[in-house]
Structure 1
Amino acid sequence: MESKSSDSDSQVSSTIDERALLRKIDFRVIPWLALLYLLNSLDRSNIGNARLYNMETDLHMNDNQYLVALTTFFFPYAAFEMPSNVALRKLRPSRWLSFLILGWGVIMTLHGIVTNYGGLIALRVLLGLFESGLYPGIAFYLSSWYRKSELGTRIALFFTSATIAGAFGGLLAAAISNMNGIAGKPGWSWIFILEGIFTVLVGVASFWIVQDFPETAKFLTEDERLFVIQRLQQDQQLSAGGEAFKLKFVWQALSDKKTWIAMGIYMGFDGPLFAFSLFLPTIINEVSFQATAANLLSVPVYAWACLVTLGVGLLGDKIGQRAYINILLFSGGLIGYIILVASRNAALSYFACFLAASGIYPLIRAAWVSANTEGSYKRSAVLGLAIGWGNLNGAVTSNVYRAKDKPWYSLGHGIVLAYIGIGIVSSIIMRIVLKAENDRRARGERNEHIASVGENLDEKDANVYESIEDARRERGDMYSGFKYTL
């Protein structure tokens, strides 16, 4: 039987053009995911653009209430990311992701007709709930399609849409603000209404456009599906092609020290990311520029971040040294925020925003975490936990830019600086831990015992397996033959 299977696999491989198949997958998967994440980023942060057009005054809010409105978004946003990722694996991405998009599109539209502070709070909570599953879902979903050496570039391609959203959000807000007074609504209302309606339309279309996992993807032939699964299994992803859900996979994620270190990396990234995306227009506005000028001046900052993100994605897949890349990028962000803390010059502070953006957005941390986690359910849980914890820190950084600290916001910049320091330290620790574990495996210290024919298995010995395949499937990335990516 093994010979027949091997011959069949060989025949499939010989008839498939791998590069053409990857281009086909890229074309059908990446562009729409990038659009979805663009809308995710845009709808999450456009409140920062709308703020510049008298939103607080119209809703009778003070600065502290505005910060509370930002904060309430993050608690459901962080709490539901891991459950959402597990649901994505059990359900079809075309249904689950589309449901989330449609839901937050409706909620975003309602932002435009809210009339008081209480209504805004309720909508921000619901927005956090529905937006929570998209980013960790896409990160996990892409890891189910691509090899480790291909994942960074693809994540960079879809994640650049976050930088595009920042740039496009400023342009769009400046343009939509001219609708002030139409139908009796202020300009900030139209920002929410028009962007929300577009998200609803995209959510409806997603039910037909979002592709499912490789084993059931309709745009692939049967041979192509088999080939994609085979190449992933050859890349230490034995769970490619599907696995049955077991609660122990979630426990493996919780008990793995790498998960907790990854949470530190995401903390060092997401805290600064949310502060930057929510307050960049405000920072530029307070330092020297008026509302529309501030929104427009945010565009070059995000355009630069987009270019750096693409470059880092390509470099990471080529050289594979993701720890060093992380440390280098975090260090660039560190320099940017040191300048922001010390600067009292508008031009210098604006330049520092470029350094800060290039030290935050290009961090392709999902590729590193995914590459070092085997087992589809464990990987979905690890990404959900790490991203969820990182996003929870947005509740902190959304409160650090207080009106009384304007125009230089030294306290806010200092707190973000501390977050970046956590990211650097966590990246260093992760590399040390992974390198030490690879060395132990190379010395044979982690070897499993594979039972010989006729040998009775001791059920009390958790390190004894009937076959190498059983050991790989049960242990995932803890299997002695699994090599961690540094």
Structure 2
Amino acid sequence: MSSETSKDSDVPFEANVSCTIEADAATLDSRDGDEALKLVGTERTNHFSDEYNRALRRKLDWVIPPICALVYLNQYLDKTSLNYASIMDFPIQDQQYNLVAMAFYIGFLVWQFPTMYIAQKLPLGKYLGVNIMLWGVVLMLHAVPNTFGPFFLLRFLLGMLESCVAPIQILIVSMFYKKSELSSRIAWWYLMTGIASVVGGFIAYGVSYITNASITSYKILFLVFGAMAVAVGIVVFLWLPDSPVNAWMLTHEERIAAIERVRDDQGGTENHKIKKEHVVEALSDVRTWLIVAMTLMTSIPNGGLANFSNMIIKSFGYTTRQTLLLSTPSGIVAVIWLLIWSRYSDKTGERMLPIAFTVLPTIIGSAILIGLNGSGKKGALLFAIYIINCFGGSLSMIYAYNASNVSGHTKKTTVHSITLVAFSLGNIIGTETFQPKDAPSYIPGKISILVLLTAEFFLCFVVRWINIRKNEKKREVLSELKTQNGWSEEDLQKERERHGFMDLTDKRNPYFVYTS
């Protein structure tokens, strides 16, 4: 079957096993394949030792995860700045506060697909850097207005500009790292959501002591966080590589080695051509919608807790400054929990089991908050608040799941975008689960967290079973191809290597293996 047939046929490879899926290398290089083919071609001609590859990985680790971590730290600070402002004389209250909190996710939702398809046509690192600098300016402008309308608009714009962060960083990380390395590398920058809770809490605590009547403390907070974002945007623009093909910190030989390192994973690198058939496959893949459901189940609680957790702590009977300090340990607990399960994920090749175990503390924490509501048992209630944020790591592993289980650049872009659309929808819904009429206990919001994450726990095992079944079918197809063509194991490995950068989707590529 030619590459054109593979690309345009509506019949999945499982139903067409008589074909060998052989492709014309010249056609793939010029029209269909990844950018990586410009350096390495369709067949592996360069071999590097394990020691060389380990040294290369260490070199990548000093650049990519730290820069991505800086981005995520600032994104989470900027996104949750409203949470700190809410207890620092912020002028917008009650239902208008809910709407301002929601505006961020509306902008995030509206701009998710456009920003990712624009990004596919442009250098990823440069595009991300420009967006970060712009959102830093927008956040600093939060210090200007005092009425609902301008705040709503600014939060909407902030959501638009921040919507590209996670999908772009996932795409970049998946170009440079093997499947067995993805979960921990994504966790390295995603854990900044926990670190941001600590950093943000201490910065807000310090700012709360500024009593200059000419500028209120929440405005200073917006200015500080915004200036930090502009600085990080400059760093990203200058130093975050767009792909292994043109990574500034690698020699020509190291760029080739970086590409060859990920060849057998069949995930590919980048392709600037938007392919309709990839979009169709992403939309028709049942796993896409199961991931959407899981993302919603994670994001609805996130939308509530990201904007109302400080109000919940304050309702236990603490002052504003005590609340700002007492909110910080939850971030540390979330970081430790994520590190444990992301490492387990890469060591075992599992994705769904770690997600299931990540949400368990939140299920327990929400049950404690409901059961002990109004009891005055501050120690137990604080314990519940500290473990309730552990669920945030599940989204990191959902990102790692997508990076490990989807191939074909346009399909990856589409699935990442759909996942982030679900994220924004969930957060929009989440802000409305904590209604002013339910303050200060917010029992309906806490019940929604308990129910949703319990459902997500069980859904993990459904997705895991589907991927295991898909791998069994792929092994059957490969066995039949091997028999029909009289291939040896060496022949099969050569075919696997040739398909590594053809920009085939995971469904079309018989050599792609799913992680469970």
Same fold per TM (> 0.5)? Answer: yes
Find the counterpart in structure 2 of residue 13 from structure 1: 48
Find the counterpart in structure 1 of residue 387 from structure 2: 355
Choose the corresponding residue for 2:233, options 200, 203, 216: 203
Distance 2:458 2:176 in 1: 31
Distance 2:513 2:320 in 1: 51
Distance 1:420 1:440 in 2: 31
Choose the corresponding residue for 1:136, options 160, 163, 167: 167
> Do structure 1's residue 378 and structure 2's residue 411 form an aligned pair?
yes
Amino acid of the structure 2 residue aligned with 1:22: R
Contact kept, 8 Å, 1:269 with 1:420, in 2: the verdict is: yes
Give aligned-pair identity as a percent.
25
Structure 1 runs (4+) deviating above 4 angstroms are: 8-12, 445-452, 467-472
Residue 172 of structure 1 and its aligned partner are, at CA, apart by 0.7
Residue 9 of structure 1 and its aligned partner are, at CA, apart by 5.1
TM-score (norm 2): 0.84
What is the 5 A alignment of 1:155-234?
A: 155-181=186-212, 184-234=214-264
Paired residues in the alignment total 464
Distance 2:124 2:313 in 1: 39
Distance 2:393 2:325 in 1: 19
What is the 5 A alignment of 1:244-393?
A: 244-344=273-373, 345-361=377-393, 363=395, 364-393=397-426
Supply the RMSD in Å over aligned alpha carbons: 2.7
Choose the corresponding residue for 2:108, options 69, 73, 77: 77
Residue 306 of structure 1 and its aligned partner are, at CA, apart by 1.1
Contact kept, 8 Å, 1:13 with 1:227, in 2: the verdict is: yes
Residue 65 of structure 1 and its aligned partner are, at CA, apart by 0.6
Find the counterpart in structure 1 of residue 10 from structure 2: none
Amino acid of the structure 2 residue aligned with 1:360: G
Task: Give CA-to-partner distance per residue, 1:248-290, whole Å, 9 cap, x none.
Answer: 2222211211111111121122222232222221110112211
Residue 426 of structure 1 and its aligned partner are, at CA, apart by 2.9
Runs of 5+ consecutive residues of structure 1 not aligned to the other structure? 453-466
Amino acid of the structure 2 residue aligned with 1:350: L
Distance 1:434 1:300 in 2: 36
TM-score (norm 1): 0.89
Choose the corresponding residue for 1:410, options 443, 450, 453: 443
Other structure's SS at 2:258 match: helix
Distance 2:426 2:300 in 1: 5
Other structure's SS at 1:443 match: helix
Contact kept, 8 Å, 2:121 with 2:272, in 1: the verdict is: no
Distance 1:447 1:408, change over 3 A: farther
Residue 450 of structure 1 and its aligned partner are, at CA, apart by 12
Distance 2:418 2:427 in 1: 15
**Which range moves more in the overlay, 355-364 or 209-218?**
355-364
> Do structure 1's residue 92 and structure 2's residue 123 form an aligned pair?
yes
Task: Give CA-to-partner distance per residue, 1:6-25, whole Å, 9 cap, x none.
Answer: 9x956551497111110100
**Which range moves more in the overlay, 156-165 or 306-315?**
306-315
Task: Give CA-to-partner distance per residue, 1:235-258, whole Å, 9 cap, x none.
Answer: 222x33646432222222112111
Distance 2:175 2:407 in 1: 11
Residue 425 of structure 1 and its aligned partner are, at CA, apart by 3.5
Find the counterpart in structure 2 of residue 235 from structure 1: 265
Contact kept, 8 Å, 2:269 with 2:501, in 1: the verdict is: no
Distance 1:125 1:372 in 2: 32
Find the counterpart in structure 2 of residue 457 from structure 1: none
Residue 332 of structure 1 and its aligned partner are, at CA, apart by 2.5
Runs of 5+ consecutive residues of structure 2 not aligned to the other structure? 1-24, 26-39, 486-494
Task: Give CA-to-partner distance per residue, 1:138-176, whole Å, 9 cap, x none.
Answer: 122211111110001101100111111111111111111
Amino acid of the structure 1 residue aligned with 2:230: V
Residue 412 of structure 1 and its aligned partner are, at CA, apart by 0.8
> Do structure 1's residue 50 and structure 2's residue 85 form an aligned pair?
yes
> Do structure 1's residue 121 and structure 2's residue 156 form an aligned pair?
no
Distance 1:64 1:15, change over 3 A: closer
Task: Give CA-to-partner distance per residue, 1:52-78, whole Å, 9 cap, x none.
Answer: 01113xxxx330110011112111212
Choose the corresponding residue for 2:466, options 424, 433, 436: 433
Other structure's SS at 1:49 match: helix
Amino acid of the structure 2 residue aligned with 1:388: V
